[in-house]
Chain A
Amino acid sequence: MVDMTRSHTNAVEVRGLVKHFGATKALDGVDLDVREGTVLGVLGPNGAGKTTLVRCLSTLLVPDAGTATVAGYDVVKHPRQLRRTIGLTGQYASVDEKLSGWENLYMIGRLLDLSRKDSRARADEMLERFSLTDAAKRPAMNYSGGMRRRLDLAASMIGQPAVLYLDEPTTGLDPRTRNEVWDEVQRMVSEGATVLLTTQYMEEAEQLASELTVIDKGKVIAKGGVDELKAKVGGRTLKVRPVDPGQLPAMAAALRETGLDGIAGSTVVPDEGVLYVPILTDEQLTAVVALLGSRGFGIAHIGTHLPSLDEVFLAITGEKTADSDLSDAINEEVAA
C-alpha cells in the first residue's frame, strides 16, 4: 500500500532518527515520510517526542543517530540550505511580542532577503490574508491567543516555504479559534504546501491530515492513511459498562478464554469503567453478548459503534494490560 505512493516525491524523509537527552530517549529510531503536497499528522501524547522530532527537522537539534532530509537537504550536512525551505510554527507563538504584527512580518521579510519594498508589500498582504490588518500596528503582546497564532502562521508563510512544520498549532486555543487555524492550514494545503503537523488531538489529525504516523515514547507505533488505520483496528467496537467496575478484569479474562478472533484486543479502561471489545463479525457479536450474559455479569450499558480516531489511538498507545497484542498486530500490518 505504502509502495504505491512511492511514485510521488517525498518532501521529508526520516530514517532511524534517534535523539537522547541523558537517559530519556526522546526519539528512539523514528522512520517517516511526508509526500510532497500532503499533510502528515504526527499523533502522540505529551512527551511522545513530537516536538523533539520537529526540532530535529528544523535544525534546532542535532540528532544522535539516523538521517533526515527535507526537500533533499540533510538536516546535519546542509542545515543552511534546509532552513531556506522550511517554515516553523511552534507550540508557543514565535513572534516578537513587543513588536507590532506588521513589524514582525516586515522583519522576517528582510531576514529572508526580500527588498524593503517587497517586505512591506508582503507584510501587508499576509496581514490581509490572515485578517490581521486592523491589528497591524498593535504590539503582538496585546493580541488574543488566536490572533497571535495567526500572526505566527503568517510569519512562517512569508518565505513561501516548501515544507511547513506545525507543532501543535491549536494547543491551548478555544474551539472557535482552533477552527480558524484549521481553515488557514487547509487553505495552505489546497495551495500545495507540504505540512508536517504534530498534534495530540485526533479530531485535528482527522480534519487536516491524509496520513498519520502515531508515535509514543520516541517510537513509531503505527502509520498509514487515516481510513486505513481505522480499518486495521477493526470494524465495530462493542462498548460494555458493567454495573460493578470491579468486574472489568474478570469480564476481559472470560472473553479471552473464548479464543475468538480479535478478542485479545479487548481494552479495559478503568477510568471510564468500560470494556472495549473489537468485533469482526455479527456471529462474534452474538457470541460475546451471549457469553457475558451466561456468566452472569451485571451490565449497565452496552452498544456498538465504529471506531473514532481517539479509540484507534487509545487502542495503540493505551495501557499495556490487554491491548499490547493489538498494537503489535497494527505495527506488523501497517508499518511493514
Chain B
Amino acid sequence: MSTTAVTPSKSPAGAPRKASPRTAAPTGSSRIGLRANLRHIGALARRNALQIKQDPESMFDAVFMPVIFILLFVYVFGGAIAGKGNQAEYVNYVAPGLMAMMGMNIAMGVGTGINDDFKKGVMDRFRTMPIARSSVLIAKIVVEVGRMMVATAILLGMAFLLGLTIHTSVFGLLAAIGLSLVFGASLMWIFILLGLTMKTAQAVQGMAMIVLMPLQFGSSIFAPPTTMPGWLQTFTDYNPLSNLADASRALINGGALAHSVWMTLGWSVLITVLAAPFAVSKFRKKT
C-alpha cells in the first residue's frame, strides 16, 4: 500500500490524501534508493546554490582570499626565501601550498554555515521529510566543493600572472586540484561536526582558528621545513596540510610524489570515515 498511496498524485489542488488504510501496516519501503538519494541531494544542493545567488557577499571569501593571500605571501616572504628579485620562483613553491590552505579556509566556513542554518525552521522541515538525513549535509559539501573550485581557479589565475610555470603537464595540475578538493571535502565533515556541536557560529570560528593556525603554519605550505627544529619537522611530516602541499608541488613541479599523495589520500579517507558518521548522527539527534 504505502508506495502507491504515498506517492503524491496529480490530483487537483491541495486535496489531502486519506490516511492510508492500516491493514497493510508498516511493510512499505523504508530505505531510500540511490536514485532518490541523488535526487534529494540535487534538490538540496540547488537550494544552497540559490542561497549564494541571493547573497553574493557569501562568495567574497572564495573570490578575494586567494588574491590577497598569494599577493601577500609572494611579495612579503618571496624575496626573503627565494632571494630578492626571485619572487617568481617562490610562486611555484607557495601556490600549491596555498591551494591546500584555501581548501581548509573554505571548509571552515561550512561549520559556521551549518551552525547558522540550524537556527532556522527549515531544518525541521527537512528532518520531518522522507529523505536521508545525510543528504542535507552532502548537498552542503557538494556546493562548498564548487566554491572551492572557484577559489582554486582564481588562485591559479593569479599564480600564472605572477609567473607560475607547470613543469609536468596539465594532467599533473588537474590531479593536484583534484587532490586538494578531495582533502578539502573530507575536512568539511570535521567542521560540520564542530558546527553541529557548538552553540554559536562565533564559537565555531574561534575553535576552528585554534585548530587551524598550527596546522597551517606548522607545515611546508609557506617555507621548506628543512630549517625547522627536529620536533617541528616531525610534526610537519605528519601534518596532512604538508602532505597535500608536497603532493601538489610534486604534481606541478615534478619530483617524488608517491609518499605525499598516499599520505594525503590516507588522511582524507581517515578523516571522512571518522567524522562523517559522527556528523550525520549528531545531525539526526539535534533537537
Contacts and interface: CB of A to CB of B under 8 A. Distances in A.
B259 interface: no
A81 B129 CA distance: 10
Contact of A84 (B6, B39, B122, B125): B6
A9 B22 contact: yes
Contacts of B210: none
Nearest to B43: A110
Given A94-B120, A161-B17, A162-B19, 20 more contacts: A37-B18, A60-B127, A60-B287, A61-B287, A80-B30, A80-B130, A83-B129, A85-B20, A88-B125, A94-B123, A99-B47, A107-B46, A108-B125, A114-B8, A129-B14, A154-B14, A155-B125, A160-B11, A191-B14, A192-B16
A111 interface: yes
A95 B126 CA distance: 10
B6 A139 contact: no
A124 to B, nearest CB: 11
Per CB-CB distance, the 4 closest pairs between chain A and chain B, nearest first, are A94-B121, A110-B43, A72-B22, A162-B19
Interface stretch (B50-58, B59-67, B179-187, B235-243): B50-58
A9 B19 contact: yes
Contacts of B19: 9, 11, 36, 71-72, 85, 162-163, 194
A81 B47 contact: no
B15 interface: yes
Interface of A: 9, 11, 36-37, 55, 58-61, 71-74, 77-78, 80-81, 83-86, 88, 90, 92-99, 103, 107-108, 110-114, 118, 121-122, 125-126, 129, 139, 154-155, 157-164, 188, 191-194
B14 A112 contact: no
30 contacts: A11-B19, A36-B18, A72-B22, A74-B26, A78-B26, A80-B31, A83-B129, A84-B6, A84-B130, A88-B128, A92-B121, A94-B120, A96-B47, A96-B120, A97-B120, A98-B51, A99-B51, A107-B43, A110-B42, A111-B44, A111-B131, A125-B14, A160-B9, A160-B11, A160-B15, A162-B20, A164-B16, A191-B13, A192-B16, A192-B18
A260 to B, nearest CB: 47
A90 B17 CA distance: 21
Nearest to A117: B10
A83 B130 contact: yes
A106 to B, nearest CB: 8
Contacts of A77: 26
Contacts of B10: 118, 121
A110 B39 contact: yes
Given A107-B44, A110-B40, A191 B16 contact: yes
B269 interface: no
Contact of A160 (B8, B22, B30, B120): B8
B2 interface: yes
B211 interface: no
A94 B18 contact: no
Contacts of A114: 8
A93 B19 CA distance: 25
Contacts of B11: 160
B13 A81 contact: no
B254 interface: no
Given A111-B129, A188-B16, A71 B121 contact: no
A60 B270 CA distance: 30
A308 B182 CA distance: 65
Contact of A95 (B8, B14, B51, B122): B122
